[in-house]
């Protein structure tokens, strides 16, 4: 691939309808080009005999050889960026976890194509995931080109947090229980595992947006819960935050914070993509800025794009402490870089150094010294 050239994509899926739908999306995206389509791993291997694609879009349920086995063979013999796409089932979610552990860069759930809105959202997720996969393997500073052109958006369709939660001027808020808000995307599953497994049971309450498909977030949370000393679970409507508890936003739902006395609970919302995602880090961070202010610590981790950058600015303006994962330890230095550029980050730290300030965060104006930004 030459610099600036479209990324070549190989689709491997046994469904002719899915191959056709994905091919159409790739052809409509000026940053992508279709190298070929295959209905099984053997056909894919034949297509890759002479030239490798820049990125592969791989189903896990395939004839002749299952996709997970094929992925492992690719990574052992001819490693390349792979985006895995699987069904909305518990079995599919567990397989996607295994795919990430086997070298897949991104995971997607099989999208819907039954409405124009669903197709637009599928185009956004697919284009961003393919670019992120290449960025994760080739370089941490690759920027995402638009996956959909502005003229294709429906009237009134918005991509900022305003569509879910109106902006509000920072206010002095009373002291409440401390909490930590974390946003992550590409590479975030491993980053979150490293951070959360290092936390003690006494860690402050944590709310997390990790860009991932619905059903997958539940499996991911359960997996982390078995590894961590804190409790980790997928958030449900009305969940109350508590010390030693981390709540992960469910895939395909925005998560917001609501103050209840001196504590907090979470609410879940549908609605359009915000900053190209649902759940959106910007939506979570805005709600935390408005509801918690200086009682919160915001952390932005590895990921492609800019989701969470504007929210980090709002957190900092509201008096919250803000940290970012540094470039050297990021799989993709996109979201942290954008947050730093906007002035929303007080300090960048290596991934291995982030658990300590999270564990010790106590909220309030004196917390600056705790995270080393005073």
Active-site residue identified among 29, 59, 105, 211: 211
Task: For residue 168, give both structure tokens.
Answer: 């509000």
Does residue 323 contact residue 371 with C-beta atoms inside 8 Å? yes
Q: Strand 296-300 to strand 179-184: parallel, antiparallel, or no bridges (unpaired)?
A: parallel
Count Cβ atoms below 10 Å from residue 275 Cβ, excluding itself: 21
Active site residue 87: no
Q: Does residue 145 sit in helix, strand or coil? A: coil
Active site residue 269: no
Task: For residue 264, give both structure tokens.
Answer: 């907090």
* DSSP letters for 4-48: TPPEEEEEE-S-HHHHHHHHHHHHH-TTEEEEEEESSHHHHHHHT
* DSSP letters for 244-279: TEEEEPPTTSEEEEEEETTEEEEEEE--S-BTTBSS
Active-site residue identified among 8, 102, 105, 185: 185
Does residue 256 contact residue 283 with C-beta atoms inside 8 Å? yes
Active site residue 211: yes
Active-site residue identified among 307, 326, 329, 367: 307
Catalytic positions, written as ranges? 185, 211, 307
């Amino acid at each position: 691939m030459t610099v600036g050239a479209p990324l070549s994509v190989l689709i491997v899926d046994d469904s002719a309808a899915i191959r056709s739908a994905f091919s159409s999306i790739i052809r409509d995206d000026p940053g992508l080009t279709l190298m070929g389509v295959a209905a099984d791993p053997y056909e894919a291997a034949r297509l890759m005999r002479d030239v490798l694609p820049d990125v592969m879009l791989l189903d896990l349920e395939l004839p002749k050889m299952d996709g997970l086995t094929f992925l492992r063979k690719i990574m052992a013999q001819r490693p390349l960026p792979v985006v895995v796409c699987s069904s909305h089932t518990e079995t599919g979610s567990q397989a996607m976890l295994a795919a990430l552990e086997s070298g897949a860069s991104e995971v997607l759930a099989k999208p819907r194509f039954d409405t124009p809105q669903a197709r637009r959202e599928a185009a956004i997720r697919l284009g961003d995931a393919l670019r992120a996969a290449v960025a994760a393997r080739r370089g941490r500073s690759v920027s995402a080109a638009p996956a959909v052109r502005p003229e294709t958006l429906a009237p009134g369709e918005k991509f900022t947090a305003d569509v879910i939660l109106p902006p509000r001027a920072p206010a002095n808020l009373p002291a409440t229980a401390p909490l930590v808000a974390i946003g992550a995307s590409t590479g975030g599953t491993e980053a979150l595992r490293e951070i959360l497994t290092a936390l003690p049971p006494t860690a402050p309450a944590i709310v997390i947006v990790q860009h991932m498909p619905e059903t997958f977030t539940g499996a991911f949370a359960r997996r982390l819960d078995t590894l961590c000393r804190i409790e980790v679970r997928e958030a449900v409507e009305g969940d109350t935050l508590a010390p030693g508890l981390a709540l992960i936003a469910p895939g395909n739902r925005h998560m917001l914070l609501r103050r209840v006395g001196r504590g907090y609970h979470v609410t879940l919302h549908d609605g359009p993509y915000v900053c190209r995602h649902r759940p959106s880090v910007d939506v979570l961070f805005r709600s935390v800025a408005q509801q918690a202010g200086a009682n919160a610590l915001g952390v932005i981790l590895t990921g492609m794009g800019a989701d969470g950058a504007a929210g980090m600015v709002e957190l900092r303006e509201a008096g919250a402490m803000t940290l970012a994962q540094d470039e050297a330890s990021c799989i993709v230095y996109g979201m942290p870089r954008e947050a730093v550029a906007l002035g929303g980050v007080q300090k960048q730290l290596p991934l291995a150094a982030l658990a300590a300030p999270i564990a010790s965060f106590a909220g309030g104006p004196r917390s600056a010294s705790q995270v080393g930004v005073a």
